């Protein structure tokens, strides 16, 4: 397990954030995985996955909204709008018609907790803010 993964989990513990590590402490993986779930005012329970290596983390929330069967042009227009407005996150449409959200953050052990928790909070807050617009696309027309 990477030192920045350990530092992130220590800071989460200290902040009272419930998380789960999919990577055993003694493991020598290329990527460590830490999961945090949260439910917002609008956002249903959603999990953010931290995929960590020795330089940073890729955060992803998969399947945030299911837009399968919706007009592709309308969905892509909405995602492009979100990507322009929230430049620090990337919204994509996966092959199953679901919206995924991604971001990357540079994290060394000295700042892993601060940067990781801040990036996670920003992702959850943004998803909670944009979810009603995505849910409106989910609703039958």
State percent of the chain over pLDDT 90: 77
Is it the case that residue 141 has pLDDT exceeding 60?
Answer: no
For 6-36, the pLDDT digits (tens) are 999 999 999 999 999 988 777 777 889 999 9
The count of structural domains within the chain is: 1
For 72-101, the pLDDT digits (tens) are 999 999 999 999 999 999 999 999 999 999
pTM, full prediction:
0.88
Could you tell me which residues are beta bridge partners of residue 106? 56
What is the predicted pLDDT for the residue at 139? 58
Rounded Cα–Cα distance for residues 21 and 113 (Å): 15
Query: Where residue 66 sits, what CATH number does that domain have?
Result: 3.30.1460.10
**Can you give the residue range of the structural domain that contains 47?**
3-138
The H or E element spanning position 72 is: helix 72-85
Closest CA to 43 of 115, 133, 137, 116: 133
The SS3 of residue 20 is strand
Is it the case that residue 52 has pLDDT exceeding 70?
Answer: yes
């Amino acid at each position: 397990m990477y030192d920045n993964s350990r530092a992130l989990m220590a800071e989460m513990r200290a902040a009272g954030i419930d998380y789960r590590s999919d990577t055993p402490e003694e493991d020598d993986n290329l990527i460590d995985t830490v999961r945090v779930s949260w439910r917002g005012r609008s956002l249903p329970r959603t999990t953010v996955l931290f995929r960590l290596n020795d330089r940073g983390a890729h955060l992803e929330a998969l399947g945030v909204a299911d837009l399968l069967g919706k007009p592709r042009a309308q969905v892509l227009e909405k995602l492009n709008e979100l990507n322009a407005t929230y430049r620090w996150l990337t919204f994509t449409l996966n092959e199953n018609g679901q919206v995924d959200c991604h971001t990357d953050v540079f994290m060394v052990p000295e700042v892993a907790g601060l940067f990781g928790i801040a990036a996670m909070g920003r992702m959850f807050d943004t998803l909670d803010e944009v979810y009603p617009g995505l849910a409106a696309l989910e609703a039958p027309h």
